A and B are shown apart, each in its own frame.
Chain A
Amino acid sequence: MLYIQHKSLIMKQNRVEAFFNKVTRNHKVILILCGILFITSISFIPKLTKDTRYDAFLPAKDSVLVKRNELKKLFGLKDPMVIAVINEEGIFNKKSLEIVHKLSETLKKVPGIDPDQITSLSTENNIKGTETGIVVDPFYEIEELTELKALEVSKNIDDFELYQGSLVSKDKTTTLIVAEMLDSYDRKQHEVYNSLYEIVSNLEEENHTFYLAGEGAVSGYLIKYIDEDAMRTNPFAGLVIALILIFAYRTVRGVLLPNLMVLASVGIALGLMAAFGVDFFVITNGLPVVLIAIAVADGIHILGEYYESAAKFPEYTQRELVVHTMLKMWRPITITSITTIGGFMSIALSSYMPPMIYFGIFGALGVCIALLYALFMIPSAMMLLKPQKSKVFKTADTVDIYGNIMVSLGKVVIKRPKAILTIALLIIILGIGGALKLLINEDRIKNFQGDEPLVLADKIINQKTDGTSYLDVLIETPNEEDLFKIENLHKIDSLQNYIETLPYVKGSTSIVDFIKKMNQSMNENREEFYRIPENNQLVAQYFLLYSASGDPTDFDNYVDYDYKLANVRFRMNSGEYINEKMVVHKAQEFIDTHFKSSSIKATLSGKVALDTHWLSKLGFNHFLGAIIALLVVLIVAGFSFKSFTAGFLTVVPVTISVLFLYTVMGIMDIWLAVGTSMFAAIAIGVGVDFAVHTIDRLKYFLKEENLKITDAFNQFYKSAGRALLFNFLALALGFSVLMTSSVPPLNQFGFLVAVAVVVSFIGSMTLLPAIILIFKPNFFINK
């Protein structure tokens, strides 16, 4: 029996050897193929398009998104660029209003801005009652603007509740110019943002300050922002990796080959993204750095083995050395790659949001490419070179400082296994507590550093006015002109009154506000007539009267053409998920009780409802992703070690690392948000490598070499331990590079994964050997 097993092992060994012999013999063809694949893929990269809109977080077919897009089309709603004009002494003077006019006119000529969709004091109409009737007139005409007229405009705004807070701040120091973009500029919002930013920053008017914000500006600036960020973090990550490789092997090929592999992994993954027309999202920006850190590991292990073998077998030819190295390394690097792929794929499988799904898919693909290049390109490229020794591995027994560090760590483990176990248990308990208290939250403005002009602008606009975060409510009635019905108007009015009492909701606009205003105007502007009139016909006739001096398209944003559908827009001055969620839930409750009839229906939509919809899935998906990743690792490790014990032990350090992070997140007040929510699956897929290598090597020394535990540990720490130390440094430092990112979610993601890597490395180096020492599992120890 043993003989047969041994024979099959040898046969398998022979087959693998034959395979790598083939690879090394056809190295030139392989290198050419690798080159072609790389060049073809990266030729697509210029086609990558960036999508930073919040819509991008939902699949195109999502029912809530579809409904929202219908609503946008129906009422011509867009995510606007918002410019605030602030004069602390008040904006109702000739000069300020001139500036508003000038700026509004300038905006009309900016490419990408819809010239008919600019809302400001200089474009909007006032509805005014006169002795004889009703007049719809611009608030002011620039030709007739005087100081006196400016004061009249102020008075008119006092009489027009609708514009208080939305167009002019209640303290009258701020007025907004809201500009909508043309649909054709959906992916080019940064161009519009840049033009506007230039206009705004070149404005110099005494006593006036100008700010640019709004959802359109956020999307536009994000494109520019993540571009600049990538330009900085990617080369930096490459540099860090190169430095680590220099320290590890101190040879040119030791730096060059793994770097080529990294380049291929990142280049091909991004190239294929472009080729398949997948957009580049904000979090995609983290992918290159993540791949750089992960892909280099295979190279580190292969070269480590190569130099060790070169020291051990000086008589080997280059082919023998390469084949020998690959024979020993193909298995662990394949297993670790599969577990990492598992980590990425569990993000793809557990997520609902396309940016995360694609992050998972293309991350997995990048790791796959790295493995392919490790198995084919590295041995082929080595064949072009002569055998070489690294100064680090002079002879088979040389142990450098890094080896020594690891050996001393091993001694600590042998002395204090129980203490290690206790600490691990403590981390687990604290971690579970942390996980239960995790705060799920998100705010798009938090994608920027706090001192960015856009963040400042957003803050000021939200302070001064009703805010720029919109909740839209679609009102549907079955028949034409149903929205002239008094009972329906009262329902809408009560909805507005209720939602406006909720925190962070500062104001709202609907057709009802205009009807009230018309009623007031028709009744000598008397305040008590700012209400819904008593009969349906009158409402219809008001609209006809309005059309005697207003434009036919004036109410397009609020009511559809046959008065069946209406949009009520609520303005919130917070874009934070937890605040939005609370408002959406309360609003939904109200709708469920008051809009149940067949004669009128209400549906929540707009950015606020959309945010609540996709973010509500985030927490569940995060834990689901982590659990899938753990299962994948457990199954892959269990099968490849053919042991449940080994599989179980493999997941121990990563589980602890993730639990540890929940505690860290609680202490450091880090939200579980879009960027950070991916940390667990990645940390598991990546961090498990240490455990795989540890278990694989320890088993080899203990079971196959049949060494005593202390000797086996000693051997393990100085060889595999040393390679793992560099693998760890590459990962930890690589992910730390993300901490230099100026995009806070990536920054936090990098930090979390880096910490997780530290914990799982320490766990694999201490806890796993400690468990073996204490429990002496059959898998390792010949009894």
Chain B
Amino acid sequence: MKTILLIVMFAIFLNPFAGISQELMNGQLIAQKTNDRNEGVSLKRDLIMELKDKRGKTRVRKTVALRKYFGKEKRLVIFYKTPTSVKGTAFLTFDYPDATKDDDQWLYLPALRKTRRISAANRGDYFLGTDLTYEDIKLETKISNNDYNYKTMGREKIDGHDCYVIEAIPKDASIEKELGYSKAKFWIDSQIWMMRKSESWDTAGNFLKTVKVSDIKKVQNIWTIHHINVVNHKTKHQTTFKFENNDYDAALGDDYFTKEALVDGL
């Protein structure tokens, strides 16, 4: 008995993680820092979505995406350029800062010449056939302030950048169901406070997705993402987002972010 006790004590003594946690930054604080980042007020960019199914067949959709903050409210509009079959299709979303208020979303279908309202999607629903959810799109690699209890696990390097590794567990069952994740892990760059990688598990505890963010560069002095890759481990479906021609200075009048503007296109 004594020997076992000794071994246990020795093991605790040797455990490299014991004691370190005090030096690591608190997870909630890290989440906050990702939210405090400068994103500029407006942004115009080309967004190329490459969707790949498990057999390696791809769909490429070229779009132009505009984003602008109206105070704390964020509006995003996406105009489809190719393929021809969906050219002119446009998607508009209003993200309200009030979490209790459902976001508004519309899709304009040129073949029908009608703008359709999309009823409030679950935050965990897939965004327009991609592997990212509406919530992922909304956060744009920020970490939610309100949904998770965080635990900082340590530090690791991703693509040569020092990152905090934080584990996130949804605060309650309803959030878990809404998000579709039972657990997530984030790798947050400790210099620029951007997420470089994340992993998530579905509500049944199966390994679900890996998100990798790369090619982060400064554009007009703002740290900007140029590449996101998402692999869904369950469906083997993959999504790549490429952001090109990022422009924070483009003149984006408020009128772009209206239902009426969807019809006219860019």
Residue in chain A with minimal CB distance to B83: A481
B129-148 contacts to A, CB under 8 A, are: 129-131
Given A535-B111, A552-B235, also A561-B117 (CB < 8 A): no
A529-560 contacts to B, CB under 8 A, are: 535-542, 544-545, 547-553, 556, 560
Partner of A544, one of B125, B126, B128, B131: B128
Question: In the complex, are the beta carbons of A537 and B126 less than 8 A apart?
Answer: no
Interface size class of B (residues with CB under 8 A): 35 or more
Residues of A within 8 A of B110 (CB): 537, 541
Question: In the complex, are the beta carbons of A545 and B55 less than 8 A apart?
Answer: no
The answer, yes or no, to whether B204 is at the interface (CB within 8 Å) is: yes
Question: In the complex, are the beta carbons of A545 and B107 less than 8 A apart?
Answer: yes
The answer, yes or no, to whether B67 is at the interface (CB within 8 Å) is: no
Given A134-B116, A562-B57, also A544-B107 (CB < 8 A): yes
Residues of A within 8 A of B80 (CB): 544
Q: Tell me the bound Cα distance from A556 to B206 in angstroms.
A: 21
The answer, yes or no, to whether B263 is at the interface (CB within 8 Å) is: no
Partner of A538, one of B53, B59, B109, B130: B109
The answer, yes or no, to whether B5 is at the interface (CB within 8 Å) is: no
Question: In the complex, are the beta carbons of B85 and A561 less than 8 A apart?
Answer: no
Q: Tell me the bound Cα distance from A134 to B107 in angstroms.
A: 10
Partner of B53, one of A108, A535, A545, A561: A561
Partner of A556, one of B53, B127, B129, B204: B53
Residues of A within 8 A of B206 (CB): 115
Partner of B119, one of A135, A552, A561: A135
Interface flags for A76-117 (1: CB within 8 Å of B; 0: not) read 000000000000000000000000000000001000000110
Residues of B within 8 A of A484 (CB): 85
B111-169 contacts to A, CB under 8 A, are: 111-112, 116-119, 121, 125-131
Given A132-B117, A540-B86, also A547-B129 (CB < 8 A): yes
Shortest CB distance A133–B (Å): 4
Residue in chain B with minimal CB distance to A553: B235
Residues of A within 8 A of B182 (CB): none
Residues of B within 8 A of A561 (CB): 51, 53, 55, 57-59
The answer, yes or no, to whether A738 is at the interface (CB within 8 Å) is: no
Question: In the complex, are the beta carbons of B51 and A552 less than 8 A apart?
Answer: yes
Interface flags for A118-162 (1: CB within 8 Å of B; 0: not) read 000000000000101111000000000000000000000000000
Interface flags for B86-112 (1: CB within 8 Å of A; 0: not) read 100101000000000000010101111
Interface residue tally for chain A (C-beta within 8 Å) = 33
Partner of A133, one of B51, B89, B118, B129: B118
Question: In the complex, are the beta carbons of A545 and B109 less than 8 A apart?
Answer: yes
Residue in chain A with minimal CB distance to B119: A135
Given A552-B129, A561-B53, A561-B55, also A541-B235 (CB < 8 A): no
Q: Tell me the bound Cα distance from A540 to B86 in angstroms.
A: 6
Shortest CB distance A131–B (Å): 8
Q: Tell me the bound Cα distance from A561 to B111 in angstroms.
A: 22
The answer, yes or no, to whether B196 is at the interface (CB within 8 Å) is: no
Shortest CB distance A537–B (Å): 4
Residue in chain B with minimal CB distance to A545: B107
Question: In the complex, are the beta carbons of A536 and B129 less than 8 A apart?
Answer: no
Question: In the complex, are the beta carbons of B57 and A548 less than 8 A apart?
Answer: no
Residue in chain A with minimal CB distance to B129: A547
Question: In the complex, are the beta carbons of B112 and A538 less than 8 A apart?
Answer: yes
Question: In the complex, are the beta carbons of A549 and B107 less than 8 A apart?
Answer: no
Give the interface centre of A538, A550, A552 by most chain B CB atoms within 10 Å: A552
Q: Tell me the bound Cα distance from A665 to B2 in angstroms.
A: 83
Residue in chain B with minimal CB distance to A551: B126
Residues of A within 8 A of B116 (CB): 132-134, 522, 545
Residue in chain B with minimal CB distance to A135: B119
The answer, yes or no, to whether B237 is at the interface (CB within 8 Å) is: yes
Question: In the complex, are the beta carbons of B119 and A541 less than 8 A apart?
Answer: no
The answer, yes or no, to whether A707 is at the interface (CB within 8 Å) is: no
Residues of A within 8 A of B53 (CB): 553, 556, 560-561
Residues of B within 8 A of A108 (CB): 204
Residues of A within 8 A of B131 (CB): 552
Q: Tell me the bound Cα distance from A686 to B206 in angstroms.
A: 58
The answer, yes or no, to whether B217 is at the interface (CB within 8 Å) is: no
Interface flags for B4-16 (1: CB within 8 Å of A; 0: not) read 0000000000000
Question: In the complex, are the beta carbons of B117 and A538 less than 8 A apart?
Answer: no
The answer, yes or no, to whether B37 is at the interface (CB within 8 Å) is: no
18 contacts between A and B (CB under 8 A): A130-B119, A134-B116, A481-B85, A537-B84, A537-B85, A537-B110, A538-B111, A538-B112, A541-B89, A541-B110, A541-B111, A544-B107, A548-B121, A549-B119, A560-B53, A561-B55, A561-B58, A562-B57
Further pairs besides A538-B111, A540-B86: 11, Cβ < 8 Å: A108-B204, A115-B204, A133-B116, A134-B116, A541-B89, A541-B110, A541-B112, A547-B126, A549-B118, A552-B129, A561-B59
Q: Which residues of B contact A (CB under 8 A)?
A: 51, 53, 55, 57-59, 80, 83-86, 89, 91, 105, 107, 109-112, 116-119, 121, 125-131, 204, 206, 234-235, 237
